[in-house]
A and B are shown apart, each in its own frame.
Chain A
Amino acid sequence: MADGWQLPARLAALGFFGVIVQVAAVSQISILGVSVDLAPLMVAAVGLLAGSLPGAIFGFAVGLFVDLALVQTLGVTSLLFIVIGYAAGRLRELRDPAHGLVPVMVGAVATAISTVGFALMQFLLGIEAPVSWLLLRQVVIAILLGALFALPVHALVRRVVSGALPDDPRRRRRRAYTTGGLSPLSRPSEGR
């Protein structure tokens, strides 16, 4: 039972401290006029490591916390982060990508969903903002920064949740590859 609570507890701590660090420090550092947003990267990493449902739940919780902490319209970031966490988890479950740079691509996509989605939601909610090249430039820079920071965030999340994950698909795949998909006991004999 204690093991069952290990992952949610670790993810809760990760989400809480991640958002605090984001709000207290990272948001105040501007690179090329844009701040790095670690929250979607965290959500994507959790989805990629823990699966679609944990990813979606973590996304919802982190999104809600971000909305609360930043006094934004509740539900907007949650909705976007659910999509990010779920999509990253589905990628893991369906494709199980093994390439080391997958987190970079996933981070870039997560940032794109987050920034573009947030802008779209704001427009839908009637917040008037000029659609300009400046905005487009900022979105592009945010995506690039997201890709840049995706790998360290993924490594950090992996470190936090390692040991609490139910199963590692890579390990499973490696095992399947070395044993030909079968247990050594049930492997066909050499003479056949």
Chain B
Amino acid sequence: MLIALVVVSLILLTAYFGESAGSPLHTVQRGVIQVLSPIQEGASRALKPARDLFGWFGDTLDAKKERDQLRAQRDALLAEEIDYQVAIRENRQLRALVRMDGNHGLGSYEKETARIIVRSPNNLLRDTLQVDKGTSSGVHVGQAVIAGGGLVGQVTTAAGGTAVVTLITDQRSAVGAKVLNRGGRGDIGLVKPSIGDPLDLLVQQLPRDTKVRVGDNVVTSGVIDPRFPSPYPPNIPIGRVTKVDPAELESNNQIHISPIADLRHLDFVQILTTPPPGGEERAQVP
């Protein structure tokens, strides 16, 4: 019986395989399909809920898998986007540094671009940055630091591979400044941070008759004055006038400015390491 079944199977197989599409076995098969198709259709409809139930499980698993994949993809894209944003920001800052060279006659200075590696947490009293360049790169104490279109501060500590920059918003800082007012007189003062709000800089010791308006620019004076030793080259933008109170100017000889450099969002700075030959204006400062 078993042998008969196997033989029948082999005969069917051989016959079917060797036959054309219009042969008897194919015809029988088509007939069977025709008969079965309504049954299959009915069964298919009847069993659809069960199929959907299993399908729901499968879809849920697939959806979960897809969700995990998309989450991973999203995280990767987020990391990539952050990288891009950081790169764009750094690029913008570096471009601004390069642009400053042309705008403020700093092209003749040797400059060392440094990355900020540490920022002082308590910037109400001490406002300093630590950069990744030091004496091994020609950075020394007293050198001016610029970034983002304006003055940042000066190097106050320098070691082999790092240096500390004291910002103009530090309470110990004082910068000789010139107010570029409309009258064109260029009144000279001293820029210091106001107590309690380091980003509000004061230009002190101005003449009482200073003609100045909100929006006027204040730049480094680079003046030679034994009382105000200035490590800064002249004409580097420091800030813009934000408040002029005649009473305050009359009584305290001061106006308010805000720094041009975005001191809270810096990643790179440039340190003016070597003054140009013949530029002894600063060197003569006592």
Contact = CB atoms under 8 A, between A and B. Distances in A.
Nearest to A52: B2
A78 B10 CA distance: 9
B9 A71 contact: no
A69 B58 contact: no
A74 B25 contact: yes
A25 interface: yes
Interface in A64-87: 64, 67-69, 71, 73-76, 78-79, 82, 86
A13 interface: no
B161 to A, nearest CB: 53
Interface in A6-21: 20-21
B247 interface: no
A24 B49 CA distance: 12
Interface stretch (A27-35, A91-99, A135-143): A27-35
Contacts of A29: 51, 54-55, 58
By secondary structure, the A interface counts as helix
A94 to B, nearest CB: 15
Interface in B1-46: 1-2, 5-6, 8-17, 25, 28-29, 32-33, 36, 39-41, 43-44
Contact of B1 (A21, A56, A73, A76): A56
Interface string B57-81: 0100000000000000000000000
Given A25-B51, A29-B55, A69 B10 contact: no
Given A53-B1, A74-B13, A24 B32 contact: no
B9 A82 contact: yes
Contacts of B50: 25
Contact of B5 (A56, A68, A125): A56
B13 A23 contact: no
Interface string A27-64: 01111000000000000000000001100110010011
B96 interface: no
B84 to A, nearest CB: 37
Given A25-B51, A68-B33, A56 B12 contact: no
Contacts of B195: none
A75 B10 contact: yes
B47 A75 contact: no
A75 B33 contact: no
A68 to B, nearest CB: 4
A68 B29 CA distance: 5
A56 B10 CA distance: 15
A142 to B, nearest CB: 16
Given A29-B55, A29-B58, A75-B13, A56 B2 contact: yes
Nearest to A19: B36
B29 A125 contact: no
A28 B39 contact: no
B43 A20 contact: yes
A71 B33 contact: yes
B43 A60 contact: no
A6 B86 CA distance: 80
Q: Which one of A20, A21, A23 has the greatest number of beta carbons of chain B within 10 Å?
A: A20
Contacts of A20: 36, 39-40, 43
A75 B18 CA distance: 13
Contacts of A67: 29
A24 B44 contact: yes
A75 B44 CA distance: 26
Contacts of B55: 29
Given A29-B51, A53-B2, A75 B9 contact: yes
Contacts of B13: 73-76, 79
Interface of A: 20-21, 23-25, 28-31, 52-53, 56-57, 60, 63-64, 67-69, 71, 73-76, 78-79, 82, 86, 125
13 contacts: A20-B39, A20-B43, A21-B43, A23-B40, A25-B44, A25-B50, A68-B29, A68-B33, A69-B36, A73-B17, A75-B14, A79-B10, A79-B13
The 8 closest A-B pairs by CB, nearest first: A75-B13, A75-B12, A25-B47, A24-B43, A24-B44, A74-B16, A79-B9, A78-B9
